[in-house]
């Protein structure tokens, strides 16, 4: 049996190099936003310079101190902001869960490598689960909103309303609602409301009353 031809662009969408590039860009943006948020909170809140352990040490993310709750809030805000690069780079709602979970999985690996131990803090795992859920849900909603945006056909009027063209003549939506503009050309031919065939309009001579 002949093989079904691949969908145009399928190989390009599934290219490993492109996927790795998207993952790298998303991971860098994820950590860049975290660095900005945590550094800002550290300088403004405590007046101290942030250390590398504030970003990669899971023992700093604790639920019994104010600093731990502040770091948890920063990571949640980071997940919310990362939706923007996901929308720009991925833009497909079906792929959002894969990339969101990949970001948090790589964060788990880097955290474990930095501390040389797998995180055992329940609060750290709760923050990661909530962060992944937030990034996935908001990312899917944003991508679906972009996918379902109405496509404009024809031209646009000065007020931004959609217009349709029939036999080279622009028809405004108000005229379409009133039943006007049904393809009346120079030869007086047009198409009926039901779209069944063409008809010819013949002129009617006006008669003067006797």
pLDDT number for residue 16:
87
pLDDT number for residue 3:
60
Q: How many Cβ atoms are within 10 Å of 47's Cβ, its own excluded?
A: 7
Tell me the pLDDT tens digit for each residue of 18-62.
899 999 999 999 999 999 999 988 888 766 777 888 888 999 888
- Measured in Å, how far apart are the chain's first and last C-alpha atoms? 81
pLDDT number for residue 4:
61
pLDDT number for residue 128:
95
Residue matched to tokens 């590398």:
52
Look at the pTM and tell me if it is higher than 0.85: no
Please, are residues 181 and 166 in contact by the beta-carbon 8 Å criterion?
Answer: yes
* Dist CA 108 CA 44 (whole Å): 28
Q: Report CA-CA distances (Å) from 100 to 64, 65, 71, 72, 128.
A: 28, 28, 20, 17, 11
Alpha helices per DSSP H over 90-121: 96-115
Please, are residues 139 and 81 in contact by the beta-carbon 8 Å criterion?
Answer: no
pLDDT number for residue 160:
45
pLDDT number for residue 175:
45
Phi, psi dihedral angles at 164 (to 5 degrees)? -115, 155
Residues of the chain with pLDDT under 50: 1, 8-11, 155, 157-195, 198-200, 205-206, 210
Please, are residues 167 and 183 in contact by the beta-carbon 8 Å criterion?
Answer: yes
Q: Report CA-CA distances (Å) from 197 to 180, 183, 189, 191.
A: 17, 12, 10, 6
pLDDT number for residue 137:
95
Report helix, strand and coil shares of the chain as percent, to nearest 5: 55, 5, 35
């Amino acid at each position: 049996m002949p093989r079904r031809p691949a969908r145009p662009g399928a190989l390009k969408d599934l290219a490993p190099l492109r996927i790795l590039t998207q993952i790298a860009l998303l991971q860098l943006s994820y950590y860049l936003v975290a660095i900005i948020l945590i550094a800002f909170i550290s300088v403004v809140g405590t007046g101290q310079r942030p250390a590398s352990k504030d970003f990669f040490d899971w023992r700093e993310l604790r639920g019994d101190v104010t600093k731990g709750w502040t770091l948890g809030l920063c990571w949640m805000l980071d997940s919310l902001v990362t939706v923007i690069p996901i929308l720009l780079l991925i833009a497909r709602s079906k792929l959002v869960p894969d990339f969101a979970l990949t970001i948090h999985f790589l964060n788990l690996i880097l955290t474990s490598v930095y501390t040389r131990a797998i995180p055992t803090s329940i609060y750290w795992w709760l923050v990661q689960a909530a962060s992944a859920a937030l990034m996935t849900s908001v990312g899917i909603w944003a991508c679906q909103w972009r996918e379902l945006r109405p496509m404009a056909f024809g031209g646009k009027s000065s007020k931004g309303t959609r217009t349709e063209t029939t036999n080279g003549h622009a028809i405004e939506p108000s005229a379409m609602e009133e039943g006007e503009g049904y393809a009346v050309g120079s030869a007086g031919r047009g198409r009926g409301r039901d779209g069944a065939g063409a008809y010819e309009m013949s002129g009617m001579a006006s008669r003067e009353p006797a």
